Structure 1
Amino acid sequence: MMNCGLLTNKNEPVPLKSIEVDLQVQGHVATVTSTLQYVNEEKNPLEAIFVFPMPSDAALCHFSAKIADKEIVAKVQEKQQAREEYDDAVSSGQQAFLLEESDESGDVFRLSVGSLPPGQKAAVNFIYVIELSVQADNSLRFCLPAVLNPRYTPAGTGGGIVSEITSTPSGGVPYSLSFTVHVNSPNPITKIESKCSLEPLEFLNTDHTKAKVTLSAGHKFDRDVELFLHYQNPHQLTAIGEAGAPTAKPGTLMGDPVAMLSFYPEFPKSVMSSLASCGEFVFVMDQSGSMACNMHNGPDARSRIVSARDTLLLLLKSLPMSCYFNIYGFGSHYESFFPKSVEYNQQTMDQALERVKKIEANMGGTEILQPLQQIYNQPCIADHPRQLFIFTDGEVGNTKDVLNLVRKNSDLHRCFSFGIGEGASTALITGLAENASGYAQFITGTDRMQAKVMQSLRYALQPAVVDVREVWSGVSTTRLSPPIKTIFNGQRALIYAQLKGEECQKPDAKGKISVQYRLGAEEVTNTLEFSLNPTENSGLTIHRLGARSLIRSLERKEQDEGADKDALKAQVVDLSIQSGVISSHTAFIAVNKGSGQAVKGPMLTRRVPTAMRFGSVPMPKMMRCRGAAMPMMMPCSAPMPKMCGMAAPMLLRGGGAPKPKMMFDMAAVQPQSGLFGMSECADSGMDPETPKDPLLQLISLQKALGCWEMGSTLAEVFGKTEEELVKQIPAQVDPGVWATLLALIWLHGFQMDAQVEWQFVAMKAVAWIQTQKVVTLAECVQAGNSLLGCQVTEDALGI
C-alpha cells in the first residue's frame, strides 16, 4: 500500500501539513483565502508540484509565500517570462514559487514550490473571488473543490499537467483542513446548510445579517465542501458600486468605479405553464469507464451509469409527441441510437428504451469532441429548435477545444450540461452551458439525477428571457461582461460595467440602469437607481470579477477564425497584470532573492498522493508520477482491475505522457442493478435483490401518448393484483382510462415529494384523458381514491 505525503527513503510522508481556508461572503459574492503549510523534513532540497482544482468562474487575484519569517508576495507576469524567471531562480538556489493555470482547462492550477531547503517551512497563501450560484430553492451555493477527477487526454494530443495520477486511502492523509465562513448580507440570513458536518451557526448581530460557521472538527478533506446560504428576499434586484483603487490611474479599469448589477427576473404563472410541443432533443451520455463509479459512498450508493440509465428512461417518457430526438453514447469512440434524429412516437421510443437498457460504462476514455462534431454536422430540423443535453463526469483533457466547438455552433442550439459526481470539471460543465445559452447542473452526493435533469427539461420547454438590453443613464459606461443571451426561470445574471466621466466624482451622484427584455410575447423593463459615488473597498472584489469576465471574453475571441491573436493576447496580459487576476497567458511568480546559496546535492521531486475513497489498490508503476497534491478523493467504489477513476495528480514540471486507455477501461467491472434489473457491482454494498424504484417502474409502463394499459405489472406498483384493479372499474369506463387515472392518483397521493420528476408524464396523461371525454370522471376519481387509499381531488389532478 502506498503511503502519502512527500516520501522519505523509509516511505514516510513529509511536506503538506495543513490547509486553512477562510471564506468571506458579501451577499452574492465571496472572497476565498487558502493557506497551505509545508515543511521539508528530508536531508536534500526538494521541489514539490501541487495540482489543485478551482471553480472555473473564480478570479485568482493574490498569491504569496512565507518562508521562515520572510514573506514573498507574487506578481503577475506573462506566462513564459514567469516560467523562465522561475527556472533561473531555482537553478541558482533561490526559493521560488510559480502558480499558473492549466493549458487544458481553466479550473485546474499548478503550484510549483521550488528549492525548499532541508528543514525549511513554507506557508503558501492564495486568494480568489467568486460569484455564488443560485439554486432551485433560491439558496446560494459555494463549493470548495476537494476532488479533481483525472482528465482523459485523447490519443495524439499529448499530455498536460493533469494527465497522471497518484492516490492513497483517505484514512492515511496526514494533513488537516480548517474551514471558517463569515457571511455579511444586506438581507437577513435564515440558515446555512452543508452536506459536511458544521458547527452550530453563530449570528454576530441582532438583525441576523452577519454570521459565522465552521466545519466540525475532524473533517477529512476527501470530498467537496459545499455550502448553501439562505437569505430573506432572495429575488431582490440590486446594484453594488465599488470605488477604484486609490493608487491606480484614473481612466483605467482598476482606477475607475465599477458597478455590478444582479438581474433576477420573475416569471409569471402564465409563462411557467406554457410549454413547447416541438424541438429536437439530443441526449449525449458519457459511457467512459469512470461512469461505473458510485455517486457517493453511502450504503445505498448506485453507480453513475445506473442513474444515467434511469434518467434517460425518464427523459424519453417525458418528451412531447411529434418532437424529434436521438441519443449518443461516447467514450474513446461514440455511437448513436439512430443515424439522425427521429420523430418521437411509440415505436421510436420503444426502440430507444431497448438500447438504454444495454448502456454500460464500457467505452474506454472520455472523448466528447467527435460526437459533438457529428451532431453539429447534422442539419437542423425546421421549426424544431435543437436542445442538447450532455451528461458527463467531466474527465476531459481538451476542455478548451470542446468549448470552442460549442461556441462556434451556439447559434444552432442550446446546451444543457450535467456534471455527474464530485470532481466534475466546472470549466467544462459551466462552459458548455454558457457558450450555448443553456443551463448547467452538478449532481453530487445523494442528489437524484432525475430531479435536476427534469428541471432543465422544463427550462428547455418553457419560454426564456431573450433580447436583453441595458440602458444606462447619468453615467458613461464600458461593459465588462458579455451580452446576456438567455435567462431561464430561477436563473440570475450579473452585469459588470466600468463607470466613467466626471459625474462619478460628484457627491451624492446617482446613476440609473434600465434592463429591457422579452419574455414570451411580453416586453418588460426593470429600472434601478444606484450611487455613482460608492464607498472605497480595498478588497476590489467587484473590480476583479469584472476583470475576470472581460479576460474570459477576450480569450474566447482568440479562438475565432481570423482573430488578431497577438493583439488579443496583449490585451489579456495587460488587463491581467493591471487587475492582478491570473489568465491563460499569465502566471504568478514569487522569488526570494535573498536566499542565493547554490543548491547542494540533487534536487528531489516528490509526490503527495491523493485521497482514495474506498480501500487501497496499488497502481501500476507506469501510473506513478512525481509531484505533490492537495487532498482529493478517489470517486469510485467499483473494483479497480483497470483503474476506473483516480484523484488529483501531482507531477513533475513538463507534464506527462498521454494516458493509456487501459486506465478507463471498465469492461471488467459489472454494472449495478437499476430499474432494468442488471447485475450488481461486486463490492457496491447493495443487496442484489434491492426492490425496483416504484416511481420509475410506473413511468416505464407509460405509453408515448401518455396513457397506461391495465396489467399485472402496473397493479404491482400499486400493491394490488390485476384482478383487484379490474374488479373496481366503474361502469362503461375504458380500462386504459381507468389505469391512467389510477396512475395519476397514485402519483399525487404517494409521490408528491418527487413531483419535479413526474410532472411531464402527468401532463401527458392529463392531456390524453381529456381527449377521451370521460362522462363519469368524478365517479372514477372517487373510486380510484377508495381503491388506493388516497384523497386526491379532480382539481389537484388538473383534469
Structure 2
Amino acid sequence: MVCHCGLVTGKNEPVPLKSIEVEVKVNDHVATVSSTLQYENKEEQPLEAIFVFPLPAEAAVCHFSAKIGETEVVAHVKEKKQAREEYDDALSSGQQAFLLEESEQSSDVFQLNVGSLPPGESASIRLEYVTELAVQADDGLRICLPAVLNPRYEPQGVNSGGGGSAQVTSVPASAVPYNLSVKAHVSSPRPISKVESNCPLDPLNYLNPEQTQATISLAAGHKFDRDVELLVYYKDAHQPTPVVESGQASAKPGSLMGDTVVMLSLYPEFPTSVMSSMTSSGEFIFLVDRSGSMSCPMHRGEGAQERIGSARDTLLLLLKSLPMGCYFNIFGFGSNYESFFPKSVEYSQQTMDDALNKVQTMGADMGGTEILEPLKHIYSQSCIPNQPRQLFLFTDGEVGNTKQVLDLVKKNAKSHRCFSFGIGEGASSALISGVAKEGGGHSQFITGTDRMQPKVMQSLRFALQPAVVDIAVDWKVPKGVSVTPLSQPISVLFQGQRSLIYAQLTGESSKQTEGSVTVKYSLAKQPVKNQLCFSLKPAEDTGLTVHRLGARTLIRSLEVEERGGGSEKKATELKDRVVNLSVQSGVSSVFTAFIAVHKGSGEAVKGPMLRRNVPTPRIGGGGGGGGSMRMGRSCRLMKKSTKMYHAAPMAKMRLCAAPMIMCHSAFPGGRTGTENQLGTCKRSLSRDLCEPSSVYCDAGTHSIKHGFEMADNFEMAENTITVPELTRDPLFQLISLQKASGSWVLETALVLVLGKTLEEVDKTKPEQVDQEVWATVLALIWLHGFKIKDQDEWQLLAIKAVAWIQAQNVPFVPECVAAGNALLGCKVQKETLGL
C-alpha cells in the first residue's frame, strides 16, 4: 500500500480533523483502547480520506467502525486482496466504503481509507485494540498511545514491496488543528499505587476504599509534541496472575474463539544462591545510532541533554560495569557503520581506556539509519567460545525494512541475546520490541524526561544473569480437557521479568475445577521449577480480550514462520492459516484487512474524489539525516540556544590559604536546573577572593547546561594545584575515575568529588590500609551515602569494587568503613556495602 501520513491530498488541502477521543480500560496488565476520530467534510465534492497512523506493535486491532450521518457501518476482516477489490468496487458504484489494513513492512503502522465522505457530512471513526502492557525498569506498566508517526528511513537499494514508506506531512505542534482527550479506567486485583504520565494529568480518582479501581484523565491542552504515555504502578506487582476466559457463545466449539483461553503471567524466582554471583563471561556488543536525529534533545524541557550525549554517558556506565574477563566492542551506525575494534577485544584497563577515548568523540554525524548492514556484519563474525554474545541496540529511528531486520535477528537468535532501546518520541515499537523478542532479550523505551541509564543498567543485569537453558512447560489439567499452546515456546527467562503464556483449553471436566502450569529449567547447572495453579472457572466481564491477544500471539508467530522461507506450498499453507485465524478472531494481520461497505445513493462518483491531508505534529526524532528522510531541521529548530561552557583539559584553580570546606549538602541533590552539578551555588569560583571560612560549591551561574567552567586565569594564591575538568554530574565524575578492575585510585579528582582535600583524606586513612583500598572504600561510602536513589545505575560497578576489595584480603575493612563514615559524615554499615 502507498503510505502517506494523515488524510492526504495531492494539493495538501486540509480536512479538518475536529478531535480525537481515547478511552483506555486497563485490567491488571492488559489494556483495551478505543479511539474515536471526528471529521467533517466542508468541501463541495465527495472526499476520499486516507489516514496513516501508528499503533503499538503488540496491539491486536479487533474493531473498526465508521458512522457517517446517522448510519454506522461495522467492518469485518477479509483476505487483503479481496477486501481491496470490494472497496474499489463499492466506490465505483457510488457506495460508501471503509478499508483498514496493516502495513506490509511494519506491524505498528496502519492505513485507513474512507471513501467517500459526502459534502457537508461529518464522520466518526472508531478503532479498538487490545494490548499487553510492558513492564518497565521500575515495575511500572507502560501504556503508550502513539500520537507521533515519524518518517520511516528507507535504506538505499531496499525494495519496500507493497508497504512503501510513510511520508510525513507535518506542522509545528502548536499549529495542529485538532484536540485530544484521554480518559483511563484502571482496575486490578491489587491496590493501585499511582499513575504517572509524560503529559499533564488530572488528579487520580479512586473508585473504592480498596483502591483497586481508579480513573484518570489527560489534562486539557495537549500540545501534540509527544506520544502519550501512562505508567501504572500496583502494589505487589510481581505476583503471578492467571486469567481464564470463556469462549464466544456463537463460535464453533473446538475453535479458538469457541473454546476457553487462559493467559498466565509468570514471574520466575531464581534461587538466591545462584543470583548472588553474576556471570563474568560474555561478548558484549553495543550498537549505537549516530544518525542526524540523535542530535535532538531527550525531551522538550529545560536543560534537556542531546540523545547522543545521553548515549555517551550510558556507554561510560556500561564500560565501567562490565566484568573482567569478558569481551566487548562498540559499533556506531548511520548511513554506514564503523566499529571501535576490528573484532571484539578482551576487557582490560587498556581496552576500556581506548574505548572511552573514542566514546567521547562520538557525534550524531553519520547520516541516515541503516541498521541491517551492521547487524549482518556482526552476525558474520564467529562467536567467541564460552563467551555468550549479548547485543545492545540503541536507536531513535524507524526503518522501512523493519521485517527484514527482525527476520535477520530471529535467524541468529540461537547465537546471541538482543537488548533494544527506543530513544525519543515516535520510535518504532515494531522495531524496538521486535528485535528484543526475536533475539530473546528485553526492550526499553526512553521518552520524555526518562533517564536512559537506569533502564540500560537493568538490561545489563539481565544480560549478566546466568543463562537459563532447557526450558520446558508442563500443563496439568483434568481428564477430558486438552491444552493447545498459542504462544511460542519460552526461550528466555530473567529474574523478576514477566513471561506471558497463552493456551486454548478444549473440553470440560465434570469433577476437577483446577489446573496448573509448571515451568522447568536449568540455571547454573541447577534444576529449578516454578509452578502456578489456576481455576478453570472463567473470570467475569473479560469480554474476549484474552482470546484476541492469544490469537494475535499465534498470528504473529505464523507470519514470522511464513517469511522464514521454505517451500512455496508451506508458505501458502501458513498464509491460509493466518487468514483463517484472523477472520475467525476478528484480529488484524498482514494478510487481511477490515472492510465495510454501506450502500449510499447508488450513484457513481463522477471524476476523481478529493483527497485531503490532516497534518501531524513536527517533532524531533525519526530516522536520521539521509536517504529518503525529510527530517533533521525540526530537531535543530526546537533546540534552544544555550551557551556552552568548557574547561581546559587541566584547568588551574586557586585554593585558599585557609582550609577550604566542601559542603556535604552539595552532593545528594538532583541533576536538573542550575543545581545539577555539585549542589546549590553560594558564590562563583571565578575571580572571587576566598575568605578563611569560604565554602567550595558549584559555579552554578557558569555551568548551567553542558559543563563546569573553571577559567584558567584564576588569581594564584600561595597554594596552587591543577585538577582535571569536572563533568556536569559528580556521580559520572566518580564513575569515570573507576578502574576496569573495580578500584579507585586516591587522586585529586576523586577527593574533589568527595568534597575533601587530599590532606584531609590522607590524614584520616588507617595506617595499615593501602591507599587504593582506602579510596575504593570512600567511593563506595559516598555512593551509598549520597547517591542511593541512583543505585540502579551504579550497582554493578559497586559489585565490582566490593569484589576487588575482597580479593585484596584486607584485614582492616571495619576500621576503613568507620573512618570513611567519619570523614564523609555518613552512617553506612559495612554489611550495606557488601563487605
2:123 and 2:739 mapped to 1: Cα distance?
65
1:127-150 Cα shifts (integer Å, max 9, x gaps): 111112223333322111122222
Could you say what the CA RMSD is over the residues aligned between the two structures, in angstroms?
A: 2.9
Residue 486 (structure 2) aligns with: 480
1:664 and 1:464 mapped to 2: Cα distance?
41
Matches for 1:559-708 after TM superposition, within 5 Å: 559-563=563-567, 564-600=570-606, 602-612=608-618, 634-635=619-620, 659-660=627-628, 663=631, 687-689=705-707, 692-708=728-744
1:333 and 1:489 mapped to 2: Cα distance?
36
1:24 aligns with 2:25: yes
Q: Note the C-alpha offset of 1:509.
A: 3.8
> Gaps spanning 5+ residues in structure 2: where?
650-702, 709-726
Matching residue's letter, 1:443: I
1:332 aligns with 2:300: no
Q: Note the C-alpha offset of 1:465.
A: 4.7
Q: % of aligned pairs identical?
A: 62
Residue 300 (structure 2) aligns with: 297
1:715-754 Cα shifts (integer Å, max 9, x gaps): 2222334344344443243332222222122111111111
Matching residue's letter, 2:59: A
1:230 and 1:58 mapped to 2: Cα distance?
21
> Could you tell me whether the CA contact under 8 Å between 1:45 and 1:603 is conserved in 2?
yes
Matching residue's letter, 1:370: E
> Could you tell me whether the CA contact under 8 Å between 1:292 and 1:666 is conserved in 2?
no
Residue 700 (structure 2) aligns with: none
1:711 aligns with 2:747: yes
1:509-542 Cα shifts (integer Å, max 9, x gaps): 4433333333444433444443434267583111
1:417 aligns with 2:420: yes
1:212 and 1:667 mapped to 2: Cα distance?
35
Residues 1:73 and 1:67: Cα distance change in structure 2 (over 3 Å): same
Q: Which moved more, 1:428-437 or 1:773-782?
A: 773-782
2:300 and 2:540 mapped to 1: Cα distance?
47
Q: Which moved more, 1:323-332 or 1:112-121?
A: 112-121
Match of 2:785 among 735, 743, 749: 749
> Could you tell me whether the CA contact under 8 Å between 1:361 and 1:667 is conserved in 2?
no
2:512 and 2:315 mapped to 1: Cα distance?
56
1:6 and 1:433 mapped to 2: Cα distance?
33
Residues 1:6 and 1:471: Cα distance change in structure 2 (over 3 Å): closer
Residue 187 (structure 2) aligns with: 184
Residue 147 (structure 1) aligns with: 148
Residue 516 (structure 1) aligns with: 520
1:422-473 Cα shifts (integer Å, max 9, x gaps): 2111111111111121111111111111111111111111125541322232
2:438 and 2:614 mapped to 1: Cα distance?
36
Residues 1:150 and 1:277: Cα distance change in structure 2 (over 3 Å): same
1:164 aligns with 2:167: yes
Residues 1:277 and 1:525: Cα distance change in structure 2 (over 3 Å): closer
Q: Note the C-alpha offset of 1:601.
A: 5.2
Q: Note the C-alpha offset of 1:602.
A: 4.2
1:551 aligns with 2:552: no
> Could you tell me whether the CA contact under 8 Å between 1:515 and 1:525 is conserved in 2?
yes
Residue 118 (structure 1) aligns with: 119
1:648-674 Cα shifts (integer Å, max 9, x gaps): xxxxxxxxxx95367559999999999
Matches for 1:62-141 after TM superposition, within 5 Å: 62-141=63-142
1:272 aligns with 2:240: no
Matches for 1:711-730 after TM superposition, within 5 Å: 711-730=747-766
Q: Note the C-alpha offset of 1:237.
A: 2.4
Q: Which moved more, 1:557-566 or 1:731-740?
A: 731-740
1:507 and 1:645 mapped to 2: Cα distance?
62
For the pair shown, the structure with the greater C-alpha radius of gyration is: 2
1:111 and 1:197 mapped to 2: Cα distance?
30
Matching residue's letter, 2:274: V
1:530 aligns with 2:534: yes
Matching residue's letter, 1:553: S
1:29-82 Cα shifts (integer Å, max 9, x gaps): 221111100111122322222111111111001100000000111111111221
Match of 2:451 among 448, 462, 466: 448
Say which SS state the counterpart of residue 491 (structure 1) adopts.
coil
Q: Which moved more, 1:142-151 or 1:566-575?
A: 142-151
Residue 688 (structure 2) aligns with: none
Q: Note the C-alpha offset of 1:301.
A: 0.4
Residues 1:792 and 1:210: Cα distance change in structure 2 (over 3 Å): closer
Q: Note the C-alpha offset of 1:500.
A: 1.1
Q: Which moved more, 1:4-13 or 1:480-489?
A: 4-13
Residues 1:792 and 1:537: Cα distance change in structure 2 (over 3 Å): closer
Match of 1:430 among 396, 417, 433: 433
Q: Note the C-alpha offset of 1:182.
A: 1.6
1:59 and 1:23 mapped to 2: Cα distance?
14
Residues 1:760 and 1:368: Cα distance change in structure 2 (over 3 Å): same
1:364 aligns with 2:367: yes
Matching residue's letter, 2:527: E
Residue 216 (structure 1) aligns with: 219
1:584 and 1:336 mapped to 2: Cα distance?
36
> Could you tell me whether the CA contact under 8 Å between 2:137 and 2:455 is conserved in 1?
no
Matches for 1:48-59 after TM superposition, within 5 Å: 48-59=49-60
Q: Which moved more, 1:552-561 or 1:130-139?
A: 130-139
1:207-233 Cα shifts (integer Å, max 9, x gaps): 333222222222334322222223333
1:738 and 1:26 mapped to 2: Cα distance?
52
1:494 aligns with 2:500: yes
Residue 665 (structure 2) aligns with: none
2:643 and 2:412 mapped to 1: Cα distance?
37
> Could you tell me whether the CA contact under 8 Å between 1:53 and 1:145 is conserved in 2?
yes
Q: Note the C-alpha offset of 1:405.
A: 0.4
Q: Which moved more, 1:771-780 or 1:308-317?
A: 771-780
Give TM-score, length-normalised by structure 2.
Answer: 0.85
Q: Which moved more, 1:785-794 or 1:370-379?
A: 785-794
Residue 826 (structure 2) aligns with: 790
Residue 15 (structure 2) aligns with: 14
1:402 and 1:676 mapped to 2: Cα distance?
40
Q: Which moved more, 1:340-349 or 1:168-177?
A: 168-177
> Could you tell me whether the CA contact under 8 Å between 1:238 and 1:262 is conserved in 2?
yes
Alignment length, in residue pairs?
751
